[in-house]
Chains A and B, each alone.
Chain A
Amino acid sequence: MTLWKMAWRDLWSRALVTLLTLTGIALGAALISSVLTLRRESEAGFLRESGEFDLVVGAKGSPLQLVLSSIYHLDLPTGNIPYSRYAALRDDPRIAAAIPLGLGDNYHGYRIVGTDAALFRLDDRHDARKPLFALHEGRFFETNFEAVIGAQVARQTGLKLGDTFVGTHGLVVTPGSSEHRAFPYRVVGVLASGGGSADRAIYTPLPSVWLIHAQEAEVHRQIAGVATAVGASAASDLEVTAVLLRLKAVGLRLWLAQEIQKRTESMAAIPVNEMLRLYRQVLGPMQRLLLAVAALVVVVSSLSMTATLYQAAERRRRDLAVLRALGAHPREIFVLVVLEALLLTLLGLAVGWLLGHGGLALAGPSVRDSLGVQLAPWTTDRLEGIAFGAVALGGLLAGLLPAALSYRREPANDLSST
């Protein structure tokens, strides 16, 4: 009979104790997996979107506010800048893509973002094979008052392809806000859920936003003449809330930001820098707290598992003494004990990993909706590997300790005498 078979059979023979020990290890491992994954994913999710654009240009004010309002659809915009500023940026040879944004209205709290169809042609910087925006169904907008809605908007408001809705003035829901009843939007596309800010946005052509706010009265009178009216407007009258920029060379970022800052009335913010600053100042301590909790979980789980394995091994003192009485070499006893501890620990860790990550996969949609974080629940990072390694080592030591102690006693003391 091989030692492997003996170890396996012995675990089976104490099925209840094995199951309880396994459950303890698995729950500890699940807790470790979920806490570490949540920490990693929230950090990655928070910073991910800030890397999609090199610069954000808007009215002077708080750079962080500008980034939060234009990329994350949070906070209020710093103001508007002339359309001509956007046009200049669009034509700048150093700029690969300039995407204008026009804000002003919301639907059930979800911001209506006037923009250019070029936004939908951008690729995902984290995976160049994928577009930044992917459709779940329908198509991207082509004409005014067509709307492409985010996945969360579709889920929460019930809007679907072909539905129409009207925007409410302002960026947040305020009682008594006026609805732009004369300008209904029609849903032509629903974005695939990406877990980012796009899930919470409603995209429409920028002229739609201009039309509603600049020429509402006129359009009321003659809706058919709108396009002409807007087209006829002088470019100097038009404004955008912000412009998102992708540069041809990322190295130009700081230089261009300073240039915009100095030479124009606008402000340029570097999203990554702003978000990192926010992260370090505000969310960093929270993340460190979460890491401390994760470390505590690892320690407590390891100790609990060590205690469980130690108790299980203690109950085997008589068996180990019997094996010694039968002539087992210390090396064989050590291998047997290590195999049992390893089997239990690795099985427990595997079940725990599945439980932890499976739980996150199940909780993914609600986490995405409530926290705006798209979890990648099945990925494991180095930290989790280290934590699991520490737990496995604890299990190994817990199994070895009783075996080592048994060699400090004479077998007669552990054998049943009655």
Chain B
Amino acid sequence: MSAAGVAAIDMQDCRLHLGGIGGEAVIFELARFRVEAGEEVALTGPSGCGKSTLLNLVAGLRRPDAGTIAVQGVELGALTSSQLDVFRGRTLGFVFQSFNLLDGFSALENVLIGMRFGRACPHGARAARAMALLERVGLKHRLHARPGRLSVGERQRVAIARAIANRPALLLADEPTGSLDPATAADVFKLIRAVCREETCALLLVTHALDLAAQLSRQVDCRGLIRSIPLTEEHA
């Protein structure tokens, strides 16, 4: 099946029991959510409304109790855990708010490790692409620095380079500017958009910053999308 005409994300009737968010169990419910190929979508809403959970579901880092999630036309529920891990590496890029870089490896190695497991780039071409990407995100001079020696903004740039290194069809970004100062946040936001366009991948970005969200082609308020129902005794 060609990627053209296939939605980057298609979620239907998803339901998930979440234990103990803020000490209280809730039911996450979502009727329908779709992101088209190449589309840039901002997901906004208050903390705890389920934005990150939605991203984790799309990435296959969490599985729903009910409903279907298709990414690039592939039904995630039909994949085994290991198939899902491999699919994720080849199809998705994920920029976490807390970066989730590997502390023991340099910026360059973090990108290379992402490419190794993503397997989208031929082995011989990986180093050149990783260096080009790090140069693209402004870290040419920090190739061999470990995360502990990088500034917060630099770490996020490494995470962005790693996320797009495998030329994913979909980039998920979970509050990528949440821990950055306004100037750096604007810079990183621009960078994410730019690389998504260069790599022609769809973007689903979770953010609290409405001004940044407004710059994307579509904004979705999770309060109108997701129902987070406290699991009361009645529900139980």
- A contact residues vs B (CB 8 Å cutoff): 1, 6, 9-10, 12-14, 318-319, 321-332, 407, 410-412, 415-418
In whole Å, how far is A417's beta carbon from the nearest beta carbon of chain B? 7
The winner among A14, A318, A331, A415 for most chain B CB atoms within 10 A is A415
Contact of B114 among A321, A326, A329, A412 (CB under 8 A): A326
Q: At the interface, yes or no: B98 with Cβ under 8 Å from chain A?
A: yes
How far, in whole Å, are A417 and B98 apart by their CA atoms in the complex?
6
User: Using Cβ atoms and an 8 Å threshold, which residues of chain A touch B104?
Assistant: 9-10, 12-14
Decide: B102 and A412 in contact? CB cutoff 8 A: no
Q: A9-B109, A326-B89, A330-B85 are in contact. Are A415 and B61 (CB under 8 A)?
A: yes
User: Using Cβ atoms and an 8 Å threshold, which residues of chain B touch A321?
Assistant: 100
Interface residues of B in 90-126 (CB under 8 A from A): 90, 94, 96-105, 109, 112-114, 116-119
Q: At the interface, yes or no: B15 with Cβ under 8 Å from chain A?
A: no
Decide: A1 and B116 in contact? CB cutoff 8 A: yes
Q: At the interface, yes or no: B217 with Cβ under 8 Å from chain A?
A: no
User: Using Cβ atoms and an 8 Å threshold, which residues of chain B touch A6?
Assistant: 113
Contact of B89 among A328, A331, A412 (CB under 8 A): A328
Decide: B61 and A323 in contact? CB cutoff 8 A: no
Decide: A330 and B82 in contact? CB cutoff 8 A: yes
User: Using Cβ atoms and an 8 Å threshold, which residues of chain A touch B85?
Assistant: 324, 327-330, 411
In whole Å, how far is A18's beta carbon from the nearest beta carbon of chain B? 10
Q: A1-B109, A14-B104 are in contact. Are A327 and B63 (CB under 8 A)?
A: no
How far, in whole Å, are A327 and B84 apart by their CA atoms in the complex?
8
Q: A9-B105, A12-B104 are in contact. Are A325 and B113 (CB under 8 A)?
A: no
Q: At the interface, yes or no: B52 with Cβ under 8 Å from chain A?
A: yes
Q: A9-B109, A330-B82, A412-B56 are in contact. Are A325 and B88 (CB under 8 A)?
A: yes
Binary CB contact string for chain B from 69 to 92 against chain A (1 if under 8 A, 0 otherwise): 000000000000110011111100
Q: A9-B104, A327-B117 are in contact. Are A416 and B98 (CB under 8 A)?
A: yes
How far, in whole Å, are A322 and B114 apart by their CA atoms in the complex?
9
Decide: A327 and B113 in contact? CB cutoff 8 A: no
User: Using Cβ atoms and an 8 Å threshold, which residues of chain A touch B103?
Assistant: 13
Decide: A326 and B96 in contact? CB cutoff 8 A: no
Q: A1-B116, A9-B109, A412-B62 are in contact. Are A418 and B82 (CB under 8 A)?
A: no
Decide: B105 and A326 in contact? CB cutoff 8 A: no
Q: At the interface, yes or no: B59 with Cβ under 8 Å from chain A?
A: yes
User: Using Cβ atoms and an 8 Å threshold, which residues of chain B touch A14?
Assistant: 104
Q: Which residue of B lies closest to A411 (CB)?
A: B61
In whole Å, how far is A325's beta carbon from the nearest beta carbon of chain B? 6
Q: Which residue of B lies closest to A14 (CB)?
A: B104
User: Using Cβ atoms and an 8 Å threshold, which residues of chain A touch B100?
Assistant: 318, 321-322, 325, 415-416
Q: Which residue of A lies closest to B103 (CB)?
A: A13
User: Using Cβ atoms and an 8 Å threshold, which residues of chain B touch A328?
Assistant: 85, 89, 117
Q: Which residue of B lies closest to A2 (CB)?
A: B116
Decide: A327 and B89 in contact? CB cutoff 8 A: yes
How far, in whole Å, are A321 and B146 apart by their CA atoms in the complex?
19
How far, in whole Å, are A395 and B56 apart by their CA atoms in the complex?
33
How far, in whole Å, are A417 and B52 apart by their CA atoms in the complex?
9
How far, in whole Å, are A184 and B96 apart by their CA atoms in the complex?
92
Q: Which residue of B lies closest to A416 (CB)?
A: B98
Decide: A329 and B116 in contact? CB cutoff 8 A: no
Q: Which residue of B lies closest to A322 (CB)?
A: B100
Given contacts A327-B166, A332-B117, 20 further A-B contacts (CB under 8 A): A1-B112, A6-B113, A9-B109, A10-B104, A10-B105, A13-B103, A13-B104, A318-B100, A321-B100, A324-B88, A325-B88, A326-B88, A326-B113, A326-B114, A327-B86, A327-B117, A328-B85, A329-B86, A415-B61, A415-B100
Closest 7 CB pairs of A and B: A327-B89, A13-B104, A412-B61, A416-B98, A327-B117, A328-B117, A412-B56
Decide: A326 and B117 in contact? CB cutoff 8 A: yes
Binary CB contact string for chain B from 160 to 189 against chain A (1 if under 8 A, 0 otherwise): 001000100000000000000000000000
How far, in whole Å, are A416 and B98 apart by their CA atoms in the complex?
6
How far, in whole Å, are A321 and B98 apart by their CA atoms in the complex?
14
How far, in whole Å, are A6 and B109 apart by their CA atoms in the complex?
9
User: Using Cβ atoms and an 8 Å threshold, which residues of chain B touch A323?
Assistant: 113, 117
How far, in whole Å, are A325 and B59 apart by their CA atoms in the complex?
8
User: Using Cβ atoms and an 8 Å threshold, which residues of chain B touch A326?
Assistant: 88-89, 113-114, 117-118, 162
In whole Å, how far is B174's beta carbon from the nearest beta carbon of chain A? 8
User: Using Cβ atoms and an 8 Å threshold, which residues of chain A touch B116?
Assistant: 1
User: Using Cβ atoms and an 8 Å threshold, which residues of chain A touch B82?
Assistant: 329-331
In whole Å, how far is B147's beta carbon from the nearest beta carbon of chain A? 10
Q: Which residue of A lies closest to B112 (CB)?
A: A1
In whole Å, how far is B40's beta carbon from the nearest beta carbon of chain A? 22
Contact of B88 among A9, A13, A327 (CB under 8 A): A327
Q: Which residue of B lies closest to A5 (CB)?
A: B109
Q: Which residue of B lies closest to A332 (CB)?
A: B117
Decide: A322 and B56 in contact? CB cutoff 8 A: no
How far, in whole Å, are A415 and B59 apart by their CA atoms in the complex?
13
Q: 22 A-B Cβ contacts within 8 A?
A: A9-B105, A13-B103, A318-B100, A322-B101, A325-B61, A326-B88, A326-B117, A326-B118, A327-B86, A327-B87, A327-B88, A327-B166, A329-B117, A330-B82, A330-B85, A332-B117, A410-B61, A412-B56, A412-B61, A416-B98, A416-B100, A418-B97
User: Using Cβ atoms and an 8 Å threshold, which residues of chain B touch A9?
Assistant: 104-105, 109
Q: Which residue of B lies closest to A418 (CB)?
A: B98
